[in-house]
Amino acid sequence: MGESERGDFAPRRAVSFWCGNGHHTQPSFAVEAVVPETWDCPKCGLPAGPDPDQAPVAAGNAPYRTHLGYVRQRRSQEDGEILLNEALAKLRGTI
């Protein structure tokens, strides 16, 4: 398929963004589009900005937790033991 079948491309401009790790990305935007202040780095996921010397700082995010970590945050060890014993009793048919 050629351009005659699909039509002409809209005028575009390339904008450079740099993340805190020094990665450079250059997405293209339509000329009339509003360019965002930050762009997610496709290599590391950190926010990237238009100034290589002043890269935006990533918002503080909680460290990764497993499902068990979130459960332990909500329940005490004693609560877990009670729930486990109830579930085992149901499986064994004693309740």
Would you tell me how many other CB atoms lie within 10 Å of the CB of residue 56?
18
Using 50, 70 and 90 to split pLDDT, how confident is the model at 14?
very high
Instruction: Report the distance separating Cα 40 and Cα 26, nearest Å.
Output: 11
pTM of the model: 0.57
pLDDT at 71: 86
3 pLDDT above the threshold of 90? no
Instruction: Report the binding-site residues for Zn(2+).
Output: 19, 23, 41, 44
Record the tokens describing residue 29, joined without a space.
């935007």
What is the CATH architecture of 11-59?
Single Sheet (2.20)
Instruction: Report the binding-site residues.
Output: 19, 23, 41, 44
Dump pLDDT digits (tens) for 56-70: 888 776 677 899 888
Instruction: Report the distance separating Cα 64 and Cα 93, nearest Å.
Output: 38
Dump pLDDT digits (tens) for 18-60: 999 999 999 999 999 999 999 999 998 899 999 999 988 887 7
Instruction: Report the distance separating Cα 7 and Cα 1, nearest Å.
Output: 10
Which is nearest to 48 in space by CA: 13, 36, 40, 26? 40
Using 50, 70 and 90 to split pLDDT, how confident is the model at 2?
low
Every domain of the chain and the residues it spans: 11-59, 62-95
pLDDT at 92: 93
Residues 6+ apart with CB under 8 A from 26: 14, 15, 16, 17
